[in-house]
Structure 1
């Protein structure tokens, strides 16, 4: 048991765990920013109703929520730009 404890505390494992927790919290923050401000602004600028996340199209009664993908894509681009 002592060997496992030394392994956990010796390496970069603790630093990686802290980094992972911070990254997950940052992802939540960016997603909230995109959903609250960026996608509504894009929807209004495009002449829509302001809620891009709710937009989509239907084929034979099946809804394809394209807006959800657009929201996720915007979040990914923001996070990728900051990380890069």
Structure 2
């Protein structure tokens, strides 16, 4: 029973997932700090308020409907997405592109899969034999 548990824990995908979750949790603090400490104050300087919570508040039958809270959540999501894209995705794409150029890898060239190559040769041979 313990041997099976040990094998499960030591599988590569379990360890990879654990590392990804830990790194993701740590990195979320960096993105949150960027959004709250840099981007939101810039927005507050432009629009005069760091959030839109009081924007478009409607009272219906004594109940407040606050569209501004939804707008704030949407803006926060877009800011986090932009921070992740410009701080992680774009630089990583540039690094990969630079590495590929250095190694002589042309975009769109996938490594040749032997099975696909064999099937292509068989197809081509069958096509020429019919003609």
Which residue number corresponds to residue 59 of structure 1?
58
SS of equivalent to 2:48:
coil
Distance 1:83 1:22 in 2: 16
Is this contact kept in 1: 2:53–2:66, CA < 8 A? no
Is contact 1:39–1:51 with CA below 8 Å preserved after alignment? yes
Aligned match of 2:12: 11
Query: Please, what TM-score do these two structures have when normalized by structure 1?
Result: 0.74
Q: Distance in 1 between matches of 2:29 and 2:54?
A: 22
Listed one character per residue, the Cα deviations across residues 32-81 of structure 1 (whole Å, up to 9, x for unaligned) are 21011102202212xx2241364532122322211232012210232244
TM-score (norm 2): 0.52
**Could you say if the C-alpha distance between residues 14 and 75 of structure 1 is closer, same or farther in structure 2, counting changes exceeding 3 Å?**
same
Distance 1:50-1:58 versus aligned 2 partners, 3 A rule: closer
Larger relative contact order (CA 8 Å, sep ≥ 6): 1
Structure 1: state its 5+ residue gaps. Answer: none
CA-atom RMSD, angstroms?
Answer: 2.2
CA distance in 1, matches of 2:27, 2:52: 20
Higher Rg: 2
The CA distance in 1 between the partners of 2:81 and 2:55, in whole Å, is 20
SS in structure 2 opposite 1:12? helix
